[in-house]
Structure 1
């Protein structure tokens, strides 16, 4: 479970997040919408342990972030979080299989078992026959499917997707959202989708709107 309680964060004296609270259960997938500058990226950074709140509680599976040092937060990101970005962040000098297996390498898992897991995820996103291809050979929609496979390969507890369809045409965006939704639910992970798109938000189980007063929905 992800627990956020009375979270506050400000920058240069300007409040960005105030008294924000939410809970997310295993298998639940929520979309967070809101105007630019309202704090969506700040919230994702806090959940990812890349930033610290000024006050409030944030915990994943009972582990309170306040009790974790930087090394422990790095391990949490490595072991329990999966990320899907708008800009893909696929490494051009690695094959698709190597890109997907990367989170397992970072956990110290190597060899045949790690490669089999990466190939299984590539198969799940419909790219099994492209495992040894290079990113430059893919379309934008295909690269985002690789990003989803990479985000799920290490079986994370929580998947964070930051505008994952922002660079895609409507057809590919719909396919990527369907794949992301199906993958999160099938794995029993929790998912948070941050998006400006009302159409993208509809793919989630519920939609929360982030305002200066907190989350509404």
Structure 2
């Protein structure tokens, strides 16, 4: 599904954050990445998503190097196969939360517009209910708390059943009970849809929901035993 081959990346300041990083994520695998602040976890997600480019190395999705794709091809790949949950949420303020959640389905429509719009609206309401926001579809982002906005971002990331889910601190703004519910939903969706997933987190509880936990250091990605460090 995903192959990182000798990926190197430096910040604009010149400080190298990733050095010859290699890793293979198998189809259907759910991995949590932990590590100290500033080690490059969010940078790694941005590189995998094709939102930033490595200084050297290859990032292959199903055998194709994403950095060699034309812009429209890379955009289509992200839209169809990726689901994103980033810390900044990126919820569009002028759309209702139901419209925000439905957006991936509308952009990827493969049915007549009227039929697909109805399907997308119903799917959005179902997904909002799954993240504990039933009946809130007509609200706008400004009417939601930070934790509620995070749940909207998670619903939007899952609605089109992506092949690869990338999540940066997906439970960072949630109370423990809601976080547990969201982690269960995330894991269930991954397993039911045969998706692969990478979450970046500082939470041991969130990491424990994954199949494998890795620690990112300046020396690369290494298996991590929860409770030992992090």
Deviation at 1:26, TM superposition (A): 2.2
The answer (yes or no) to whether the contact 2:131–2:182 under 8 Å persists in 1 is: no
The answer (yes or no) to whether the contact 1:81–1:158 under 8 Å persists in 2 is: yes
Deviation at 1:43, TM superposition (A): 0.5
The answer (yes or no) to whether the contact 1:18–1:213 under 8 Å persists in 2 is: yes
Which consecutive unaligned segments of at least 5 residues does structure 1 have? none
Q: How does 1:86-165 map to 2 (within 5 A)?
A: 86-108=87-109, 110=113, 111-165=117-171
Distance 1:204 1:16 in 2: 25
- State the partner residue of 2:29: 28
184, 197, 201: which one aligns with 1:191: 197
Deviation at 1:105, TM superposition (A): 2.6
- State the partner residue of 1:7: 7
Deviation at 1:136, TM superposition (A): 4.5
Distance 2:14 2:57 in 1: 17
Distance 1:40 1:173 in 2: 21
Distance 1:171 1:120 in 2: 20
The answer (yes or no) to whether the contact 1:86–1:163 under 8 Å persists in 2 is: yes
CA RMSD for the aligned pairs? Answer: 2.1
Alpha-carbon displacement from aligned partner over 1:113-157 (angstroms, at most 9, x marks no partner):
322332343344344433334444545444333222211122211
166, 174, 185: which one aligns with 1:168: 174
The answer (yes or no) to whether the contact 1:118–1:153 under 8 Å persists in 2 is: yes
Deviation at 1:77, TM superposition (A): 1.5
The answer (yes or no) to whether the contact 2:154–2:170 under 8 Å persists in 1 is: no
- State the partner residue of 2:41: 40
The secondary structure found in structure 2 opposite 1:129 is coil
- State the partner residue of 2:59: 58
Distance 1:62 1:215 in 2: 21
> How many residues of Structure 1 are paired with residues of Structure 2 in the alignment?
217
Distance 1:182 1:24 in 2: 19
The answer (yes or no) to whether the contact 1:104–1:153 under 8 Å persists in 2 is: yes
Distance 2:31 2:131 in 1: 21
- State the partner residue of 1:18: 19
Distance 1:200 1:115 in 2: 30
- State the partner residue of 1:216: 222
Which consecutive unaligned segments of at least 5 residues does structure 2 have? 224-230
The answer (yes or no) to whether the contact 1:87–1:167 under 8 Å persists in 2 is: no
